[in-house]
Structure 1
Amino acid sequence: MSTQAPDPLARQLRAFADHIRDPERAPAPAGVPDRRMGVYRDLFFNNLRGMLADTYPVCHAILGEKRWTCLIRAWFRDHRPTTPLFPELPRELLTWLERPERPALADEPPFLVELAHYEWLEIEVAHAGEEDPAAVPGDLLAGAPVLAAAVRWARYTWPVPRLGPEYQPGTPPAEPTGVIVHRDGADQVGFLAATPATLALLDGLSAAPGIPGRTVLAELARSLGHTDPDPIIAAGTDILADLRDRGIIAGIAPATANQDEEESP
């Protein structure tokens, strides 16, 4: 069975797309004046460059226009997005930046990937469409604390909230930077510095839905090597209350398990 030759229109469209992506190495479709192709080259690339600069304003400001253009040109040339949705393209840029095999930009700041992730979290939280899980007011220790849907948290090697054109350290600080990004009742995105203990508590709440707050705190105490969990439970109760006041904890759900009860021998 013979293989049918590619359709001439398909070949023309492929040549058009390849040239738009990489005009230096892919020739324009035969018979199309360069002046006309230039309109499309500029339209596609400049729209993407501007939209991505708006999504990652601090990255853009630190790199400057020349390096930013080189970065977006390399992404546009080398990356194949997995979505046809234009608003999802900033996430595609972050996916590409996080690839270990990606060629580094000349004089690329060592914190660029973490900074891009931090800036993306604001967009992700702002556009999170999930509804908060069912939750009601209640006891944070006896009931199971429920995290709001529009909450993200991360740990960074670099002090990403402080980075900018005027502050670009050459080495990371000794302590990591913890950040919580959340959306309040007025749909405003807020940023909260977080200690390792707070982030570990959020990890525990996320990994164990339906578990009483007391149990999550007791397990956190054990993971930190404390034989007496009471001080951690006391301090953790204050943290839980603060998270609820900020809307990071949406409320309480009935506990489905009580893991802090020791099993009978």
Structure 2
Amino acid sequence: MPLRGENLPNYRVTQLAFAAHIRNPAVHPAPLGIEPRRMQIYVDLVYNNIERFLANTFRIIRSLTSDAAWHAMVRDFVHRHRSASPFFQEIPREFLAYLETERESLHDEVEPPWLLELAHYEWVELALDLDQRSIPERDVDPGGDLLDGYPVVSPLAWLLSYEFPVHRISKQYQPAIAPDQPTFLVVYRDRAERVRFLEVNRVTARLLSMLRETDVSGRAALTRIGLELAGHDREAVERGGLQMLEQLRDCAIIAGVRTVDD
């Protein structure tokens, strides 16, 4: 981190040198006048706290990455990235931004093609756990008619699409090539405040997207989907759609149906 400005007060020069050394002690020397042992305490404290938090958030990535590659990546993040938030709980979001825009391969290991998608999937779990919103209850009937009523999708249900089946990646399954079809997942927080996921097909993903983005009844949404699915029996689409709507409500992905007009 370059030190700018010859007219800076001495304490500011020391602060900048202190922070630069903490970010990358291999590149930036410690400020003069600070005992190396004490300086190392700060270096270790900052790095270890960030590394542990990232390892706890991105557990699958950590388990699939060698120690050398993992620590090289975290070191580069600490050195390179400029966070937009001062809050510690936002560090995983900042790490995700680093992976998206700043990450460079720093190790001999071949970086898996699903790394960024898996990182996003793991971050979503934390983001939903910290989300201050609740499943809607006001003006919502949890037992209302899902076909003739207007289903309300919970704000704590995130519809996600990935090239790779990130929810299956493990030590036993690490695909080198993305499947022909994308993976659709709904990651959600249920009424017991637990973060869960549900794999859905393209039709269900379309249904959820339509319910969230347009003012439409369940029946109208299914009718529209039936028209999009040329060659499918309309009644069969409605029956299957009702079953899916009920499952989504049981999971609290759908909170219920709207009881008042907007």
Change (3 A) 1:225 1:9: farther
2:133 matched residue in structure 1: 130
Q: Is the 8 A contact 1:142 1:255 kept in 2?
A: no
Pair 1:188-2:194 in alignment: yes
Q: CA deviation at 1:14?
A: 1.1
The unaligned stretches of length 5 or more in structure 2 are none
The unaligned stretches of length 5 or more in structure 1 are 258-265
Moved beyond 6 Å, runs of 4+ = none
Across the aligned residues of Structure 1 and Structure 2, the Cα RMSD in angstroms comes to 2.1
Q: CA deviation at 1:117?
A: 0.9
Structure 1 counterpart of 2:129, one-letter code:
A
Structure 2 counterpart of 1:212, one-letter code:
S
Q: Percent identity?
A: 37
Q: Give, in whole Å, the separation in 2 of the partners of 1:224 and 1:37.
A: 65
Partner of residue 141 from structure 1, selected from 121, 143, 147: 147
Q: Secondary structure at the match of 2:66?
A: helix
1:164 matched residue in structure 2: 170
Q: Give, in whole Å, the separation in 2 of the partners of 1:255 and 1:204.
A: 19
2:221 matched residue in structure 1: 216
Structure 2 counterpart of 1:123, one-letter code:
L
Structure 2 counterpart of 1:114, one-letter code:
E
Q: Give, in whole Å, the separation in 2 of the partners of 1:71 and 1:206.
A: 37
1:260 matched residue in structure 2: none
For residues 69-121 of structure 1, what are the alpha-carbon distances to aligned partners after superposition, in whole Å with 9 as ceiling and x for unaligned? 1111111111111111101111111121122x532343211111111111111
Pair 1:204-2:210 in alignment: yes
Q: Is the 8 A contact 2:159 2:187 kept in 1?
A: yes
Matched positions, count: 253
Q: Give, in whole Å, the separation in 2 of the partners of 1:32 and 1:113.
A: 39
Partner of residue 108 from structure 1, selected from 107, 111, 119: 111
The TM-score, its normalising length taken from structure 1, stands at: 0.88
Q: Give, in whole Å, the separation in 2 of the partners of 1:81 and 1:190.
A: 29
Structure 1 counterpart of 2:213, one-letter code:
A
Q: Give, in whole Å, the separation in 1 of the partners of 2:134 and 2:171.
A: 37
Q: Is the 8 A contact 1:16 1:28 kept in 2?
A: yes
Q: Secondary structure at the match of 1:29?
A: coil
Q: Give, in whole Å, the separation in 2 of the partners of 1:72 and 1:10.
A: 27
Q: CA deviation at 1:234?
A: 2.9
Q: Is the 8 A contact 1:151 1:180 kept in 2?
A: yes
Greater displacement, 160-169 / 48-57: 160-169
Q: Give, in whole Å, the separation in 2 of the partners of 1:26 and 1:112.
A: 30
Structure 2 counterpart of 1:172, one-letter code:
A
Q: Secondary structure at the match of 2:197?
A: strand
How is 1:1-265 mapped onto 2 (pairs within 5 angstroms)? 5-99=7-101, 102-106=103-107, 107-133=110-136, 134=138, 135-136=140-141, 137-208=143-214, 210-225=215-230, 229-254=234-259, 256=261
Structure 1 counterpart of 2:239, one-letter code:
A
Change (3 A) 1:253 1:67: same
